[in-house]
């Protein structure tokens, strides 16, 4: 059965391929050309419609041959810098075979490129971390903070990075600087319980008791009224000489753990 217009699966995929080549996306372009050729039956398409499809395919192949990635692959595959993807009207089956080989090569290249980018990122992360450590060890706190801030900006969305930065600064006795990164870590990963504990240690070391209180209240909101958190708040309020609040928290802890000796001691001390 002859056709006077190209099937949509052919014309649309050829058009997409042309657009993708212009956008420097050769792998997606090749995929579209393969889809077009798989649906292209030259014998059933006659006249102007067939001629137009062949012209558009030829243009796509010409543009693909000029793409730097395709040129590199053709050179590697054939060991000749002058190799091109061949196309002649009527030889679409041969072209399809070549494009399938090219697709596999482009997929491998893309995988290698992604691995290379990831490797470079890992190297960058390790470099910033080591630089920060070395500067802290050398007593260059301000310079270290600059490097660690770069690390936080570039990799802070990765689990553990912000906490690691905060812990390093805390160990260098830069407590409020450490707290800045730990607060950001809690903001980014609110369900990571260990961050709260590290931040509490940090603020306790800086004697920032009201900030410790704020952290414990965040813990209660995020994780619920665990008796250990309630007892820690009771101890904190005792330290701050907030008698009523200390007793209230101790009593709340006792409601969940009636035999808790520390909670009993605080509750009784403020009766």
In a domain, 213, yes or no: yes
pLDDT for position 48: 80
In a domain, 129, yes or no: no
Q: Are residues 153 and 43 in the same domain?
A: no
Query: In the chain, which residues have pLDDT < 70?
Result: 1-6, 43, 46, 270-271
Q: Are residues 147 and 263 in the same domain?
A: yes
The domain total for the chain is 2
In a domain, 181, yes or no: yes
Q: Are residues 158 and 96 in the same domain?
A: no
**pLDDT tens across 204-217, in order?**
999 999 999 999 99
**pLDDT tens across 15-55, in order?**
999 999 999 999 999 999 999 999 887 767 767 878 888 89
Q: Are residues 242 and 155 in the same domain?
A: yes
3-state secondary structure the chain: CCECCCCHHHHHHHHHHHHHHHCCCHHHHHHHHHHHHHCCCHHHECHHHHHHHHHHHHHHHHHHHHCHHHHHHHHHHHCCCCCCCCCCCCCHHHHHHHHHHHHHHHHHHHHHHHHHHHHHHHHHHHHHHHHHHHHHHCCCHHHHHHHHHHHHHHHCCCCCHHHHHHHHHHHCCCHHHHHHHHHHHHHHCCCCHHHHHHHHHHHHHCCCHHHHHHHHHHHHHHHCCCHHHHHHHHHHHHHCCCHHHHHHHHHHHHHHCCCCHHHHHHHHHCC
In a domain, 192, yes or no: yes
pLDDT for position 5: 65
Q: Are residues 102 and 145 in the same domain?
A: no
In a domain, 131, yes or no: no
Provide the CATH number for the domain around residue 186. 1.25.40.10
In a domain, 37, yes or no: yes
pLDDT for position 149: 97
Domain that holds residue 86: 8-114
**pLDDT tens across 76-95, in order?**
888 888 889 999 988 899 99
In a domain, 171, yes or no: yes
In a domain, 130, yes or no: no
């Amino acid at each position: 059965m002859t056709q006077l217009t190209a099937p949509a699966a052919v014309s649309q995929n050829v058009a997409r391929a042309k657009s993708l080549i212009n956008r420097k996306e050769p792998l997606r372009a090749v995929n579209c050309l393969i889809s077009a050729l798989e649906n292209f039956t030259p014998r059933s398409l006659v006249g102007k419609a067939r001629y137009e499809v062949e012209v558009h395919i030829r243009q796509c192949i010409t543009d693909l041959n000029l793409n730097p990635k395709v040129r590199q692959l053709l050179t590697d595959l054939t060991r000749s810098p002058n190799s091109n993807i061949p196309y002649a009207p009527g030889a679409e089956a041969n072209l399809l075979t070549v494009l399938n080989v090219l697709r596999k090569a482009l997929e491998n290249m893309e995988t290698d490129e992604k691995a290379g980018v990831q490797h470079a990122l890992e190297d960058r992360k390790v470099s910033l971390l080591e630089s920060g450590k070395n500067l802290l060890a050398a007593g260059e706190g301000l310079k270290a903070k600059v490097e660690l801030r770069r690390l936080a900006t570039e990799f802070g969305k990765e689990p553990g990075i912000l906490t690691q930065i905060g812990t390093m600064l805390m160990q260098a006795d830069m407590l409020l600087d450490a707290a800045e990164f730990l607060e950001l870590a809690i903001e980014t990963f609110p369900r990571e319980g260990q961050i709260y504990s590290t931040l509490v240690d940090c603020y306790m070391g800086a004697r920032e008791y009201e900030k410790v209180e704020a952290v414990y209240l965040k813990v209660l909101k995020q994780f619920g009224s665990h008796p250990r958190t309630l007892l820690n708040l009771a101890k904190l309020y005792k330290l701050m000489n907030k008698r009523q609040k200390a007793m209230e928290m101790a009593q709340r802890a006792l409601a969940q753990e009636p035999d808790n000796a520390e909670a009993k001691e605080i509750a009784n001390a403020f009766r």
